[in-house]
Amino acid sequence: MKPIAFDELKNKSIKFIKGVGESRRSLFEKLDINSVFDLLTYYPREYEDRSKIKNIADLENGENCSFEGTIVSNVNEARPRRGMVISRVTVQDSTGRITALWFNQQYVRKALLLGENYIFFGRIERKLNKLQIVNPVFEAGSSEVMKKSLKILPVYSATRNLGQNVIRTIMQEAVRTLDNVQLEDMLPEDIRSRHKLAGLKESIRQIHFPGSAEKMQEARYRLVFEELFMLQLGLLNYKSLAVHKGRGIQFGKPREMEAFITFLPFKLTTAQQRVLEEVEQDMESENVMNRLVQGDVGSGKTIIAVIALFKAVKCGYQGALMVPTEILAEQHFKSIKPLFQEYGIALELLSSSLPKKQKQGIFDGLREGRIKVVVGTHALLENTVEFQKLGLVVTDEQHRFGVRQRTILAEKGQNPDVLVMTATPIPRTLALILYGDLDISVIDQLPPGRKPIKTYSVNEAMRERINNFIREKVMEGRQVYIVCPLVEESEEIEAKSAVVTAEDISNNVFRDLKVGIIHGKMKSAEKDAVMKSFAAGEISILVSTTIIEVGVNVPNATLMVVENAERFGLAQLHQLRGRVGRGGEQSYCVLFNQSKSQVSRERMKIMSQSNDGFVISEKDLEIRGPGDFFGTKQHGLPELKIANLYRDIEVLKLAQNSARELLETDPGLRGNLRLKQYLSGYFGEKVTLS
Ligand code: ADP
Ligand code: MG
């Protein structure tokens, strides 16, 4: 048998799996499942454990489980309304009784015999101390044979057209195709044995169709370990490349630094001073700086970048500041320009909307070294951008970029120092691991005199009062954001909802006010035009999707209304809310909560009680669980398919150590070429592993 690598199955279409025809293929495609590899790594979301048989007295509300009992009543059929039949029967074991009921499944009347034994499986409900199970599956008899057929079944994220049973069946076929192949294990043998990890093939089989809960745990452990190991290996390999690539620049201590800092329009906070010191130390050392500055919205990250750029220029180097949007680029440019002008530092804005000739002028200026600092978007990454002597690269709102993009810019210089900024609040331990290739500084303090944004959670009954409040603010000369509901995975629908809202209010309640709209489906130039006119005060109410969440700074906007706030992650709401409260005026955030659930109410309460991004994210975790909060996608890393960075933190530490050890004994992975190749495929474009 010729061994094949797991990732070779990426080249094998799921069409080759029994039961997959063209129509199912296209349904799977919607789930991003194209290859056999994609399918086999579509891991179960959870399991139905039919294998454990509990006593009826021990059944708990909300759990999915099995019990065995005797039918002690006739099947009763009720018809509460047309087209609905509810069948009920009482089941009993030596410990208690339970009512089983089914909707529109009349076959049960014939299938269940009074006095006979059955095993039931389903979701238990306990209401006012009465137990019931709704639509359970059941099997007759209590023979050992019967019990053996009880299994732990996988539960996949299904869609309307691709149901649970179909996915299970196809998955079974896919797992079966592995029977006759020898899968090459990518984890080095010694790591596998040291951590007692199960084999790859066995793990894939067990994760989908576990023989027992223990086997499933073993399989999961192995797959989680592998995933985190690959993640860490990629990041660490990358970091060691960065560090060993040669010496960095040793910046000096220019005379003018003190004056520059003293004559800033404000005094740095203690936190800013501390972070600046860390940055300066890095810059003055001979190692290449690779530092992340993390700080809440409004904590004043920009000025750290500005001072670092100043230092670089005064030491004879050029600097670049990259941001994710044109709006932000322009904003930074405008705020930095006056600070640099006094010291004769040539600063330019490179935006893709500039006329060709002007762009060419900037390219020339950078290449010849006349321009000292450039602010821009992804446009900075293009080949045409060259520097004479690039010494410092800063990326703002790092979570919007991939790891790869950060390096493309850095590669335009000779080992320049790199500084990245993000407001995404994540606990420090996790940040260290997630940003395994960066050192971290935290600005954990806001500038003085900030008035906390007053935040209110309201329901539909308050609509008119909120509309009056909006009008009041506009009459006072202030501006307002109305943020439309988040529609996950569909920018299109999100955009539509914004368009509809904007049309509605500009034709009705706010007919007499200037209403603008901005969403992700608009062309970049259109977006810029709208933002410019909002910044200039020509628009009073800006209806928007979540695209305004990063960096936008219009201090005159003092009210934000968020529709369907319950759909947002709290971290995201916090980012959004950071668009107001940027001037001296009292600012407000109104959250329309359309959900009546307890969890939603608690989450909204957290938002109204705290203005601290770290507190908010931690509380959110507590009540909601991590969900996609640590979604690696937003950090420009490969998506994790099975590991959970919160729950699996212990495994993560082990995997990280293993990855570190491997790189120490085999730097650059020259002795593990297959692994290295696998890793490149795993990281895709995001990280180069040269
Ligand atoms: P963020 O960390 O969200 O990027 P910014 O750097 O945009 O925050 O700063 C937000 C606002 O606070 C800016 O208007 C900036 O000029 C101001 N600011 C920054 N540092 C201070 C400070 N130490 N004292 C007063 N205002 C400050
Ligand atoms: Mg910022």
Ligand 1 pocket, residue 271 CB under 6 Å: no
Q: Both tokens of residue 233?
A: 């290996």
- Supply the residue whose CA is at minimum distance from atom 14 of ligand 1: 582
**Pick from 558, 588, 610: which residue ends a domain?**
610
Residue nearest ligand 1's atom 16 by CA: 300
- Does 20 fall in a domain? no
Q: Are the C-beta atoms of residues 71 and 140 closer than 8 Å to each other?
A: no
Q: Token digits for 137?
A: 């599956």
Amino acid symbol at 489: E
In three-state form (DSSP H/G/I as H, E/B as E, the rest C), the secondary structure along 504-561 is HHHHCCCCCCCEEEECCCCCHHHHHHHHHHHHCCCCCEEEECHHHHCCCCCCCEEEEE
Check pLDDT > 70 for residue 241.
Answer: no
Distance 369 CA to ligand 2 centre (A): 27
Mean pLDDT of 303-325: 96
Looking at residue 634, its pLDDT comes to 47
Domain CATH number, residue 370: 3.40.50.300
- CB 524 within 8 Å of CB 551: no
Query: Which residue in the block uniquely carries the two structure tokens 């692994």?
Result: 675
- In terms of Cα–Cα distance, which of 277, 289, 554 is closest to 443? 277
CA-nearest of 168, 33, 131 to 641 is: 33
Q: Considering 415, 443, 471, which residue would you say is the last residue of a domain?
A: 443
Q: Is 579 in the pocket of ligand 1 (CB under 6 A)?
A: no
Q: Rounded to whole angstroms, how far apart are CA atoms 194 and 187? A: 11
Mean pLDDT of 280-305: 91
Same-domain pairing of 512 and 563: yes
pLDDT band (50, 70, 90) for residue 142: low
Distance of CA 171 to the CA centre of its chain: 27
Domain containing 128 — which CATH number?
A: 2.40.50.140
- pLDDT value at 689 more than 50: no
| CA dihedral over 164, 166, 167, 171, signed as positive or negative | positive
The reported pLDDT for the residue numbered 167 is 93
Give the mean model confidence (pLDDT) for residues 1-7: 78
Residue 642 confidence (pLDDT):
86
The verdict on 345 and 294 lying in the same domain is yes
Check residue 469 and give its pLDDT. 97
pLDDT in tens, 602-648: 889 999 999 888 778 767 666 654 444 444 444 456 677 888 766 77
Q: Is residue 325 part of a domain?
A: yes
Q: Residue 162 carries which DSSP code?
A: S
Q: What's the pLDDT band for 175 if we cut at 50, 70, 90?
A: very high
List the one residue out of 512, 517, 467, 522 whose CA is nearest residue 492: 522
Query: Is pLDDT larger for residue 225 or for residue 690?
Result: 225
**Ligand 2 midpoint to CA 573 (Å):** 16
Q: Are residues 462 and 371 in the same domain?
A: no
Closest listed ligand to the CA of 446 = 1
Q: What band does 192 get if pLDDT is binned at 50, 70 and 90?
A: very high
Are 312 and 388 within one domain?
yes
* 379 vs 667, residue with greater confidence: 379
Q: Which residue has the higher pLDDT, 87 or 648?
A: 87
The rounded distance, in Å, linking the Cα atoms of 677 and 690 is 10
Please tell me the predicted confidence (pLDDT) of residue 497: 83
Residue 87 in domain:
yes
Confidence of residue 403 (pLDDT cuts 50, 70, 90): low
CA of 559 to the centre of ligand 1 (A): 19
514 Cα to the center of ligand 2, angstroms: 28
Whether ligand 1 lies within 6 angstroms of the CB of 298 is answered as: yes
**Cβ neighbours of residue 602 closer than 8 Å, sequence gap 6 or more:** 623
CA of 630 to the centre of ligand 1 (A): 26
User: CA angle at residue 237 from 232 to 241, to 5 degrees?
Assistant: 150
Does 409 share its domain with 332? Answer: yes
Query: For residue 176, what are the contacts with CB-CB under 8 A and spacing of at least 6?
Result: none
Nearest-10 Cα torsion for 442, 443, 445, 450: -140
Supply the residue whose CA is at minimum distance from atom 24 of ligand 1.
Answer: 447
> Is residue 639, in this structure, part of any structural domain at all?
no
**Looking at the domain assignment, is residue 324 inside a domain?**
yes
Q: What share of the chain is helix, strand, coil (3-state, %, to 5)?
A: 45, 20, 35
Compute the distance between CA of residue 211 and CA of residue 454 in angstroms, rounded to an integer: 54
Q: Is residue 431 part of a domain?
A: yes
In the chain, what is the straight-line distance between the N-terminal and C-terminal CA atoms, in Å? 32
| Residue 214 reports pLDDT greater than 60 | yes
Cβ(587)–Cβ(576) below 8 Å? no
Q: Judge if 515 and 534 occupy the same domain.
A: yes
The answer on pLDDT for 50 being more than 50 is: yes
CB of 422 within 6 A of ligand 1: the answer is no
- Would the CB of 269 count as within 6 Å of ligand 1? yes
* Spatial distance between the Cα atoms of 36 and 678, rounded to a whole number of angstroms: 16
In this prediction, residue 239 carries a pLDDT of 61
293 & 420 share domain = yes
Question: 549 is in which domain, residue-wise?
Answer: 454-610
Q: What is the mean pLDDT of the chain?
A: 86
| pLDDT greater at residue 245 or residue 251 | 251
Q: Kindly state whether residues 529 and 594 are assigned to the same domain.
A: yes
Which alpha helices (DSSP H) does 51-138 contain, by range?
Answer: 107-111
617 ligand 1 Cβ < 6 A:
no
- Cα distances (angstroms) measured from residue 440 to each of 404, 428, 579: 19, 9, 25
Cα 374 versus chain centre, distance: 30
Kindly report, residue by residue over 27-40, the tens digit of the pLDDT.
999 888 999 999 99
Cα separation, 194 vs 202, whole angstroms? 18
Number of domains in the chain: 4
Q: Tell how far the Cα of 474 is from the centroid of ligand 1, in angstroms.
A: 25
Read off the tokens for 25. Answer: 């293929």
249, pLDDT greater than 50: yes
Tokens encoding 46:
């959870």
User: Closest residue (by CA) to atom 18 of ligand 1?
Assistant: 300
CA angle 249, 253, 254 (to 5 degrees): 110
Tokens of 451: 């008035």
Find the mean pLDDT for residues 498-506: 91
What is the four-CA torsion angle of 273, 276, 282, 283, rounded to 10 degrees? Answer: -130
Mean pLDDT of 415-437: 71
Beta carbon of 545 within 6 Å of any ligand 1 atom: no
The answer, yes or no, to whether any atom of ligand 1 lies below 6 A from the CB of 581, is: no
Per-residue pLDDT at 435 exceeds 70: no
Cβ neighbours for 213, distance < 8 A, ≥ 6 positions apart: 49, 51, 152
Residue 122 has pLDDT above 90, yes or no: no
Q: Within this chain, do residues 423 and 302 fall inside the same structural domain, yes or no?
A: yes
Domain limit, last residue, from 131, 150, 169: 150
CB 297 near ligand 1, within 6 Å: yes
| 11 is a domain residue | no
Same domain, 290 and 384: yes
547 pLDDT higher than 70:
yes
Query: Are residues 433 and 515 both part of a single domain?
Result: no
Which DSSP state fits 140?
Answer: E
DSSP 611-622: --HHHHHHHHHH
Report the pLDDT value the prediction gives residue 646, as an integer from 0 to 100. Answer: 62
Is residue 15 one of the residues assigned to a domain? no
Q: Provide φ and ψ at 111, rounded to 5°.
A: -75, -30
Q: For 276-290, 498-512, 606-620, which range has the lowest pLDDT when averaged over its residues?
A: 606-620
Atom of ligand 1 nearest to the CA of 267: 23
Are residues 376 and 329 located together in one domain of the fold?
yes
Q: Say which ligand is closest to the CA of 443.
A: 1
Span 507-518, average pLDDT: 94
Among the atoms of ligand 1, which is closest to the Cα of residue 302?
6
Helix (H) or strand (E) holding 598: helix 598-609
Q: Is the pLDDT of residue 351 over 60?
A: yes
What is the C-alpha to C-alpha distance for residues 669 and 479, in angstroms, rounded to an integer?
Answer: 56
CB 206 within 8 A of CB 230: no
User: In whole angstroms, what is the distance from residue 291 CA to residue 276 CA?
Assistant: 11
